[in-house]
Amino acid sequence: MKIITAINELRAILAQERASGKKISFVPTMGNLHEGHLDLVRRAHQSSDCVVVSIFVNQMQFGPSEDYTNYPRTPEADQQKLHSEKVDYLFMPTATEMYPPTGITTHTEVFVPDVSTILCGASRPGHFKWVATVVAKLFNIVQPDVAIFGEKDFQQLTVIRSMVTDLCMPIEIIGAPTTRGESGLALSSRNGYLTPSELAIAPTLYKTLMQIKQKLADGNRDFVALESQAKSTLAEAGFVPDYISIRCQSDLSEPTADDKMLVILAAAKLGKARLIDNLQVAL
Ligand code: PAF
């Protein structure tokens, strides 16, 4: 595995790989890699001949009161894991390589309307605009044939799919199922913020989503009541729920009783961690 920090160097090497006929796949990350990320890497191998992973903690997508400073950074352990997974290139740019030294105020922004401002976008203003912007930049640097994202960040995946369609980016986007621990808790770098007692409570988030899924399968279509019961369950367990929402899978719009392809999305704070999870439902 070759570690590259400069955009020009990565471009030059990948141009050669492309010229030799290789299909390139890309897994963008913010590091602190766990089994969920490694699953994305394994899927990348299955759909290409050359796997590129990036690690860049994109400060712009964190709100002023969010955890940018404390976000877990484990570069050495990450490199070892990616080396074992036979990644071809690890791109680890600095902030000055990615953003101009003159500052960010005049930087181009990529904004996907509607889906960027609901759910997590409502609680984290500007977050998805800067996710889309940094992913667009990374796509332009790597120019992959395929990019793999976790379904754990379902709204992020929806934003990226819209961006790629709207801007005619010739990239296949693959969504990978969420990797869970034995308790059902979705793996996340932010689980590291949980204390042992919070870790015992955390799987309630997944269990609550499963309960809604079952009720939908049983024919219940009172979305508002299902959402508010679930919020109470989470609050009783010790969470501070942000939202629980049943939406259409395709664009995260509010469903009618006739919609069949749904997704239940949730975000809730537990101690210092803001946890998100979702479950897709096909009725
Ligand atoms: O999901 C993430 O880790 C980040 O949002 C991403 C896609 C790498 C952009 O910074």
Q: What is the pLDDT of residues 18-29, one digit of tens each?
A: 999 999 999 999
**Residue-wise burial string across 207-241, b where 16 or more C-beta atoms lie within 10 A, e elsewhere:** ebbeebbebbeeeeeebeebbebbbebbeebebeb
pLDDT digits (tens, 9 = 90+) for 252-269: 999 999 999 999 999 999
Q: In the predicted model, is pLDDT for residue 161 greater than 90?
A: yes
Helices 127-142 and 7-19, interaxial angle, to 10°?
A: 50
What are 185-239's pLDDT values in tens digits? 999 999 999 999 999 999 999 999 999 999 999 999 999 999 999 999 999 999 9
- Regarding the beta carbon of 32 and ligand 1, being less than 6 Å apart is answered no
User: What one-letter code names the amino acid at 114?
Assistant: D
Kindly report the protein residue whose alpha carbon is nearest to atom 6 of ligand 1.
29
Taking only the tens place, the pLDDT of each residue in 69-88 is 999 999 999 999 999 999 99
> What is the pLDDT at residue 180?
98
The verdict on the CB of residue 171 being under 6 Å from ligand 1 is no
pTM beyond cutoff 0.85: yes
Work out the widest C-alpha separation in the chain, in whole angstroms: 58
More confident residue, 235 or 100: 235
Atom 9 (ligand 1) nearest CA: 131
Nearest-angstrom CA–CA distance, 185 and 179: 9
Helix, strand, coil percent values for the chain (each to nearest 5) = 40, 20, 35
Residue 243 has a CB neighbour count (10 Å cut-off) of 16
- pLDDT value at 108 more than 90: yes
Stated as kind and residue range, the H or E segment containing 242 is: strand 240-248
Residue nearest atom 2 of ligand 1, based on CA coordinates: 29
Report the candidate in 210, 209, 217, 152 with the shortest Cα–Cα distance to residue 179.
152
What's the gap in Å between 19 CA and the centre of ligand 1? 28
Distance CA 25, CA 142 (A): 9
Q: Percent of the chain scored above 70 by pLDDT?
A: 100
Confidence of residue 100 (pLDDT cuts 50, 70, 90): confident
User: Which atom of ligand 1 is nearest to 57's Cα?
Assistant: 10
Q: Residue 135: CB within 6 Å of ligand 1?
A: yes
CA atoms within 13 A on the CB side of 67: 15
> What pLDDT is recorded for position 103?
73
How far is ligand 1, taken at its centre, from the CA of residue 91, in Å?
14
261-270, strands of its sheet edge to edge:
240-248, 261-270, 273-282
Task: Please say if the pLDDT value at position 60 is more than 80.
Answer: yes
Using CA atoms, how far apart are residues 131 and 127, in angstroms rounded to an integer?
6
| Confidence band for 277, pLDDT divided at 50, 70 and 90 | very high
Single-letter code of the amino acid located at 246: I
Give one DSSP letter per residue of 32-63, joined into a string.
Answer: ---HHHHHHHHHHHHT-SEEEEEE---GGGS-
Question: Which atom of ligand 1 is found nearest the CA of 150?
Answer: 1
Task: Give residue 242's pLDDT.
Answer: 98
* Res. 101: pLDDT tops 90: no
Residue 247: predicted pLDDT = 98
For residues 270 and 249, give the distance between their C-alpha atoms in angstroms, rounded to a whole number: 26
Ligand 1 mean position, distance from CA 204 (Å): 25
Alpha helices in 151-261 (DSSP H): 154-166, 196-201, 204-217, 223-237
153 lines ligand 1 (CB under 6 A): yes
Task: Assess whether the C-beta atom of 134 lies below 6 angstroms from ligand 1.
Answer: yes
Mean pLDDT for 25-36 is: 98
Q: Select which of 34, 37, 45, 83 is catalytic.
A: 37
Q: Which atom belonging to ligand 1 lies closest to the Cα atom of 131?
A: 9
Given this model, what pLDDT does residue 192 score?
96
For residue 107, indicate whether it is catalytic: no
Ligand 1 in reach of 58 Cβ (< 6 A): yes
pLDDT of 66 higher than 80: yes
Paired tokens of 225: 């009541």
pLDDT number for residue 181:
98
Is the pLDDT reported for residue 102 higher than 80? no
* Of 198, 193, 240, 179, residue with least CA distance to 71: 193
28 close to ligand 1 (CB < 6 Angstrom): yes
Nearest protein CA to atom 8 of ligand 1, as residue = 29
State how far the Cα of 43 lies from the Cα of 174, in Å rounded to an integer: 9
